[in-house]
Amino acid sequence: MLIGVPREPDGEARVAATPATVTQLIALGYDVVVEAGAGTPAGFADTAYMKAGARLGPVEQAWGADVVLRVTGPGPHEVDRLRPSAVLVGILAPAQHPELVEALTARKITALAMDAVPRISRAQSLDVLSSMANIAGYRAVIEAAHRFGRFFTGQITAAGKVPPAKVLVAGTGVAGLAAIGAAVSLGAIVRATDPRPEVADQVKSLGGTYLPVQVGETMVSTDGYAKATSESYDAAAARLYAEQAADVDIVITTALIPGRPAPRLITAADVAAMRPGSVIVDMATAQGGNVEGSVAGEVVTTGHGVTIIGYTDLAGRLAAQASQLYGTNLVNLMKLLTPGRDGKLVLDLDDVVQRAITVATDGETLWPPPPVQVSAATTPAPAAPVAAPVAMKRPLQPAARLALTGLGAAGLLAVTALAPDPIPRHVTVLLLAVVIGYYVIGKVHHALHTPLMSVTNAISGVILVGAMFQIGAPDATVRTLATAAVVLASINVFGGFAVTRRMLAMFQKGH
C-alpha cells in the first residue's frame, strides 16, 4: 500500500512524517510519497526524504494514496482529493467538526482521529495530545520568558538583588506539568492548581507547590481527560485565582475539556490586579480561552501593561521536534494496524484502541466511540480473609534476663578460675567485644548497616597485623595459617574501604 504525506496548510509548520519516520514506515512494507516541500517549514529538506527511501510527488499523488497521513484535518476541497475507501489519519477534532465527519462518511473514507486516542497504558505510544501538549507546555514558558522583563531565577549581584519570578500554572495535565518543569528549571517559584488532588505529588516531584481548592468534592476522571467542575468548585477556584493573580508575575492556563468550550479561569478583574509587566499565556484560546481578554493567535497588552499571549500554535513553534514526536506516534499506530509487517493495513474494530480512534469507515459514521473506562478512582477493597493468629515472640521477663546474665557471669568466672593463662584474658576480650558489638549494631538505623559493617571489616586489619607477626614462626603450619590470614584480612580491609567509599558517594551531590 502507498502512504501519502501532503503538505500542511499555511500557518502549520509541522509535517506528518520526518525522514526518520519514513524509514520506519518503509520497514513496515509501505511505499511512501511525500509532496514536494511538505517538510520545508519544519526544516526537513526534500533530499532528506529521498535519502530515507520516499519519493517526491505532486499534491495529487500525496492525496490520492491508499493511506494519507496528515497533521491537521482536511479542508472541504481537500476531502474531494481523497479517493474512495482511502484511510485518512490526522488530528480531526470530530467533536468540533461534524461537517467534516459527514463529508468523510459520504466519500466512504476510513477516518482515524489521532486526538481521540484513549488514555490507557498500551495506547500511550499513540497519544498525540500528550506529545503535543508536552511541547506546548514547554514552549509556553519560553514565550512567557521572552515577554517577561526580568530573570526567572533570583540573583544577587553587585548592582542589587533580583527576586525570582513567581509562576502560577492552572491545570496540571501534560502541558501543565511540562510548564512546571520548564519554569522550575529556569529558577522560578512555581505554584500549580488542578481539580484532581492526586496530582499534588506530581507537582511536588517537579519542584512546584500545589495549591488545593478547598471544596467538599473530589474530581475523578473516568476516561483520562478533564471534566467540567461544579459551581462550588468554580467559586472557590475563582477566589484562589484572584488571590494568586495579585501576587504572581506569570500565569499559564492549560484547562481544556474535550468537545466543550474552554472554562473561564482568569477574569478581567484578575488581569487588572496583576502588576505591570506581568505575562499571561492562555493555552486554550483555540477553544475560547481561559482568560478574559485573550485573542486566539495574537498577543494583547492591556492598558496597564499586562501581556496576554494567545498563540494557538505553541507546539508548531518547535516544528522539528513536534513533527518527530507526531511522526513517531503515527509510526506506532501503523505498527498496530500492520500486524503482518507486510504493508497491508488491517483495521480491527474489536480492539478498543482502534475502535476509539475510528471516526468513520465504509460509509458508516462511528463517532462518538463507546466510552473507555480508565478511571484510577479507588474502590473498596474486598475484605481480606482472616489469617490464623500468629504466635508473637514475647520479650524476656526481667527475672529470666537476670538469670541468663548471672549464668553468663558464672561461666566467665569458671573459665577465669580454671582455665590456664592466657585463655581467661582472651575469653574476657571476646565477650566484651560481643556485648559492645551487639549494642552498637542494635542502635544503628538499618539503612546504615552496610557502611557500618564495611568500616568494621576495614578495622579488622588488626587481624592482618597479628598474622604478619606469625609469618616468621618456625612452625610450617603456623606460617601457612598466617599467610592465609594475611591474604584474607587484606581482602577484608581493602574491600571494606572500597564499599564504604561507594556508600558515602551516594550521599554526595553529583553522584
Report the catalytic residues.
Answer: 119, 124, 127, 130, 225
Q: Rounded CA gap, 332 and 116, in Å?
A: 15
289 Rama sector, left if φ>0, alpha if ψ -120 to 50, beta otherwise = left
- Measured over the CA atoms of residue 220, residue 221, residue 226 and residue 230, the dihedral's sign is negative
- Measured over the CA atoms of residue 112, residue 118, residue 124 and residue 130, the dihedral's sign is positive
Phi, psi at 127, each rounded to 5°? -75, 90
- Alpha helix stretches (DSSP H) within 294-351: 319-337
CA angle 324, 330, 334 (to 5 degrees): 140
Question: Residues for the chain: how many in total?
Answer: 511
- Alpha helix stretches (DSSP H) within 55-127: 59-63, 76-79, 98-106
Under 8 Å between Cβ of 139 and 317: yes
Q: Rounded CA gap, 294 and 428, in Å?
A: 85
- Measured over the CA atoms of residue 72, residue 78, residue 80 and residue 84, the dihedral's sign is negative
